[in-house]
Amino acid sequence: MPKYPLRCDVRRTESTTDLLTDLHHSEPGFAPYLLTAWSPELTAQDTVVLPYLARLLDAPLALRKPRTGHSPSRRLTWHCAIRNTTGQGLDDDDWFELTREILDITGIEPDDDPAACRWAALRNQADGLDIVATVIRQDGRWARLHNDAYFARSACADFAYYQSLDEPR
How much is the pLDDT for 98? 95
Q: Report the distance separating Cα 81 and Cα 166, nearest Å.
A: 24
- Axis crossing angle, helix 148-165 with helix 92-106, rounded to the nearest 10: 140
DSSP code for 25: -
Q: Report the distance separating Cα 14 and Cα 106, nearest Å.
A: 19
Across the 169 residues of the chain, what is the mean pLDDT of every consecutive 10-residue run? 77 92 81 88 71 91 69 81 86 94 95 90 90 92 90 93 67
In this structure, is the dihedral angle defined by the CA atoms of residues 32, 35, 132 and 139, taken in order, positive or negative? Answer: positive
Cβ partners under 8 Å of residue 8, min gap 6: 80, 81, 82, 149, 152, 153, 155, 156
Q: Report the distance separating Cα 3 and Cα 109, nearest Å.
A: 28
Task: Please give the backbone phi and psi of residue 40, each rounded to the nearest 5 degrees, phi first.
Answer: -60, -30
How much is the pLDDT for 1? 39
The CATH fold assigned to 6-165 is: BirA Bifunctional Protein; domain 2 (3.30.930)
pTM of the model: 0.89
How much is the pLDDT for 8? 93
How much is the pLDDT for 3? 61
How much is the pLDDT for 131? 97
How much is the pLDDT for 2? 53
